[in-house]
Structures are given as C-alpha cells and as structure tokens.
Amino acid sequence: MHVKQFLIGAALFGISLSASNCTSSWANSLKSKLSSKTSIQCTGDNQRWSDYAAPVPGAIITIGEENDVAKVIAAASKANIPFLIQSGGNGWADTFTLDSNGIIIDMSNLKTITFNKNKTQVTFQAGATNKDVIDAAWDNNARVSASTCNCVSVLGATLGGGLSRTQGVYGLNIDNLLSLNVVDANGTKKTVTAKSNPELWWALTGAGANFGVVTSATYKSTPIPQANNTAWTGLLIFDESKLEDVITAIDELTLEPEMQMDIYFTANPATGLPAVLVLPFYLGSEEVGREKFASILDIGPLADGTEVIPYNTWNSAGDAFCTQGGRKPSYTTALKTMDPTAWRNVWDEYTAFFDQNSEANLTTILTECYSTAKTAKSVTGTGSSYPFRDIKCYAITIPWYTSPSLDSEALQFGQNIRSYLADTAGTSSPSSYINFAHGDEPLSQIYGSSLSKLQKLKLKYDPQKRLNQWFPLS
C-alpha cells in the first residue's frame, strides 16, 4: 500500500482567500487567465482518504489543463496566498498547515496517459492513479512498475520513493523515471532529467514535495503480452495461534526479485473478527510461487485463496483501503528484522483496541515486505535522495474510526505499536518511509543520510519556503 500525493505551500500572510471572499478580484482575475476546463470552488468539502488533521482550504481550484497549474501557482505566489497541491488526496500525515487562508490546487482530473510506439515508455499526468496507469498498460500489452494501492496517484507515491510489488525486478518507482515536467514555487515550468539537472533530480526523487510540483512524467515501461502478464497471489488466513510461526518464517525468508508479500492484522472477511492474513506475491507460476513461499504455506493456513491472476488485478486485495473519509491517524516503522515476541505484543495491543472500540472495527496493521535484491545495490551513489533502499518491511498502523473523541486513544495505540516494533527493527536508527509516516518524527528519521544535503538544496530551490506542507525541510 502505498499512500501518497505531492504537496506544496506558502507562508500564511498576505491576501486571504477564505470561502467568504473566494470571489475576490484576485480570484476573478485568475479565472480569466485559465482554461474553461479549470474551475474555482468556493464552498464544499475537500474529500480526502483521512479526515484526521486534513487541510481545510478557503477554495479549491480544480485543474482541467496541465498548463493552468503554473498559472495558478504563479498568481498565488505573487499574492502570498498559501497553496497545496492535491492529486489522490491520500496523504495522512499531520504536517499540513493549510487553512481557510489558502487554496488547494486539485490535479486529480489530469489523467492523460500515452505510450510510445514500442511500449518502452509511458507518459502520464499527475492525476493518474495506480489503477489508471495499470489499466492503460494492460490495454497496451505492457507493464509499468506502479505501487500497491489502486487509488493513490502514481506520482504522489513515486516522489517519496515509490514501493512496488515488482521492485525486485524493476527497482523503486523513482528508478523508473525518465523525465519530470515540473512547476517551481514561482510558477516557472521546466523539464527535469537526471542529465539536465542532476542536483534537482536527486532532490525530487525522494523529497519531491519540497522542491516542485510535478505535473506529468515519463516512465520506463516493459512490453509484455497480456497472456504473460500474470502473477501468483492471494490471501492466506491463519489462526492467531500461528502468529509466532508466521513472523519467524517471514523474518527468515529471503525475498527473491520476483517475490513480495504483505501481512495484515485486520478483520477476517468471513467472521468480522481479528485475524492474521498473509498475501504472498510471486511474479511467475503457481508451482514456483508455492515452492518459494513453502515456509509460509507449511504453517497451515485456515484458508488459501491464492491463484494466478492478471496484472490489472494485482492490487485488488487492497481496494477496501481506498474508502475515503473517516479518521485514520497512521504510524509506521521500517523493519529489517521481525521479532515474534514484539509482534505478539502488537497483536495483543491491536485486539484490545479493536475489541474496546466498536466503531474502529476497520482498524488494520499492514506490513508490506519487498525484495531488496535490486534496490539495495544502489544504497550509495543512487542519483536519488531516497535513503532507505535496504529496508525489507514497512509496518503501518492504521486506526480507523469516525469520532474525534477517539483521537487520543487512537494516537496512543499507534505510538505504542511503533514503539514495540522500533525496538526490534534491526536498523541502526529509527527510519520511516515518508509516504507512510505520521508527521511527528524527526526529519532525520524521514530523510536519513540525505537530510543535510536536502536542507542546503531547499535554500537554493525554495528560499521563500513556499513548498512546506509535506514534511517540510525548512
């Protein structure tokens, strides 16, 4: 699961654009410069994946043509109006400061996707979700390395690193980027590649939200006939008495390039009660997949729903997570090792929270585990600022409820889980994938060894600190 969009902001001073004066001369003047496909909405809710700590803008500008993004940003920056870019609206961190004095620039309608003639490259706009790109690739007899959650914008996930089921073969999403069309904080458009501006490219590929707004990008693509574009995957359900055996098996399992897996603590789809679910993934046949995951299968699941499925359905098991709304203040821990005792503590904490709060019965602890066979080879000299290429698993605690009165208990629950796992993570220091992080972590935990260089580049590329909504570097 990959949860992420790319966001930017400006200092909270200058012209105010609350809903009451959204029709001000500034807005009217701006509207005259934009295409007829772009609209300015002065009232109405901003729909996001999580309502917890969500930005509440004075207006929402829904972009209809890519060139309008630069026009809006230029006008907002000139008037010192804070702004926030939104595509999928899935980011859950509490680092947002945007309020009714500012605007959201919604790029979710920018969904054009085109492949080159031999299907080795794909260009898509910022509003394209994982599902959009995957479906387009499927229709073009191709495969693109997208992330694991269908409703997340591809670029939103990618600019923070971009985890993918197939990263053992193709690398992280950032490793598949060929070029980026970027608007800077002043509204200037530019095309950035690793060769044209290696310094800015490095910053964008891992900390992109702090350095610009990417309106479209060109990726690598692999031509593959639909008949061959399949994988073996599906849910395995285990009794909680097998938890230690499952965790030990995952910890000891070396994920080869074609392998990936998730483990869930969530409600059993059949009973509604807490259960241990495992989702193995093998880029190949069922026979070989079962061989590679034999250590998990031999534990004896209560149910085995695995099968060979087509590329355009690989993410279907996680579609329930795409439900918008509700409060989901999530926490994460990056793991190189998984300790059975720690995970028993996590299970006990999870079931207690689940049992005591009936409205939180969608609460889930999701752990995504990936092959590092390709990504870990590039830990140094990668050409990208993403710092955690040798991490095997990413645990995400997702309290899911509706009432703000439960916030305090939910936050404590998430912090407790994070603490249990951090103590046995096997890393030299705590680390958190930016797209999964809560927002209370120190920046060194988010940006790792890249932090110092990123902060220096921030002064160069955004001295006015306008791009400061998503884990700001300044």
Query: What's the one-letter identity of residue 22?
Result: C
CB 293 within 8 A of CB 261: yes
Tokens of 321: 């997570």
Query: Could you read off the pLDDT of 424-455 as tens digits, one per residue?
Result: 999 999 999 999 999 999 999 999 999 999 99
CATH code of domain 19-106: 3.30.43.10
CATH architecture assignment, domain 230-448: 3-Layer(aba) Sandwich (3.40)
Q: Phi, psi (5° rounding) for residue 246? A: -65, -45
Which secondary structure element, helix H or strand E, spans residue 304, and what is its range?
strand 303-304
Nearest-CA neighbor of 465 among 455, 456, 457, 474? 474
Contact assessment for residue 5 and residue 47, using Cβ atoms and an 8 Å cutoff: no
What's the DSSP call for residue 59?
Answer: E
What are 148's two structure tokens?
């694991």
Domain ranges of the chain: 19-106, 113-225, 230-448
Judged by DSSP in three states, 408 sits in helix
Beta-strand runs (E) in 4-125: 39-41, 59-62, 83-86, 103-106, 113-115, 121-125
- The CATH architecture assigned to 113-225 reads 2-Layer Sandwich (3.30)
Using pLDDT thresholds of 50, 70 and 90, give the confidence band for residue 378. low
User: Which residues, at least 6 apart from 29, have a Cβ–Cβ distance to it below 8 Å?
Assistant: 75
Distances (CA, A) of 276 to 85, 305, 317, 399: 37, 14, 15, 17
DSSP assignment string, 258-300: TEEEEEEEEE-TTTSSEEEEEEEEESS-HHHHHHHTHHHHTT-
Predicted pLDDT at 27 = 79
pLDDT at position 6 over 90 = no
> At which residue do the structure tokens 């809903």 appear?
19
The predicted-structure confidence for 79-121, as pLDDT tens digits, reads as follows 999 999 999 899 999 999 999 889 999 999 999 999 999 999 9
Q: Can you read off the two tokens belonging to residue 153?
A: 């914008």
**Predicted TM-score (pTM) of this structure:** 0.93
